Amino acid sequence: MLPAYNTTNMEMTLAIMDAFEANGMPGVVQIAPTNVRLTGYDLIAGAVRAAARRYTVPMALHLDHGKTLDDVRLAVEAGFTSVMIDGASLPFEENVRFSRRAVDFCHTQGVSVEAELGAIRGKEDDHVSEADSRTDPSQVAEFVERTGCDLLAVSIGNVHGLEEEPHIDLDHLARIAAVCPCPLVLHGGSGIDHATIAAMAEHGMVKVNIASDLRRAFISAVHDAQEENPREVNLAAVLMRARRAVTEVARSTQLAINGISNEASNSNAAA
């Protein structure tokens, strides 16, 4: 299963890429428009392309939660390799039309599209959603056929952020997988037991989005540095510490959701 880790800045981006390389496993670097505002689409895409030359494992750059067609267009023009169009809050027919427009544009550019059916509760950056509309299996096949999406993000009790507790329904996922003609995506992977995420692979889940766990590691590392030395002004050292903290979390998470222990990974790397 591919982890898709949300980035915000250069240090987090490199930390995520460091983790993929250290594990020798491919993955996805992704960013939402709410975080793109710090850099712009061109800068983050250019940074990922330049950094990728240092690594050997395949890595993709994905737009997470594109809320407008302009978000999608700007990401594609900047060189993102895949996008998500988020019309989950819309009524079914509007979601179909909205997602189809994104697919029609992206497919002419050779870019794959993830769409979403079913709203997810929780806090995603500045956006707070109280909706909890689990994906309706009876709508899945029609939605995928009419939109032409390449992947489908689903709501099965997952939540965004760490302020609410997820309640994953694997039986509901199995019902969706039985009728869905494309691979599935899990949003809100932070806070979900890794064994539960790994079990989803049996039901067509190929990508899991994780943001809050990495952000918490970054912020905690900076906080700890400040606590240890309130007079610290070596920003590079503090940011390198945060980068290592994010890499550690990303590495262990990627291994865990694929059912690989850290010991086994280290043994393979040594061999």
Residue 179 has what pLDDT? Answer: 98
What secondary structure letter does DSSP report for 79? T
Local structure of 47: helix, strand or coil: helix
Place of tokens 């929780």: 122
Residue 127 has what pLDDT? Answer: 46
Residue 262 has what pLDDT? Answer: 63
Question: With contact defined as beta carbons under 8 Å apart, do 44 and 31 qualify?
Answer: yes
pLDDT at 135 over 90: yes
Rg of the chain taking only CA atoms, in angstroms: 18
Q: How many residues does the chain have?
A: 271
10-23 vs 41-52: helix crossing angle, rounded to 10: 30
Place of tokens 């599209």: 113
Question: Which entry of 18, 64, 86, 213 is annotated as an active-site residue?
Answer: 64
- Say whether 193 is catalytic: no
Residue 266 has what pLDDT? Answer: 58
Question: With contact defined as beta carbons under 8 Å apart, do 95 and 65 qualify?
Answer: no
pLDDT at 117 over 70: yes
Q: Amino acid letter at 196?
A: T
CA distance 63 to 108: 17
Residue 183 has what pLDDT? Answer: 98
Residue 210 has what pLDDT? Answer: 96
Question: With contact defined as beta carbons under 8 Å apart, do 202 and 173 qualify?
Answer: no
Residue 167 has what pLDDT? Answer: 85
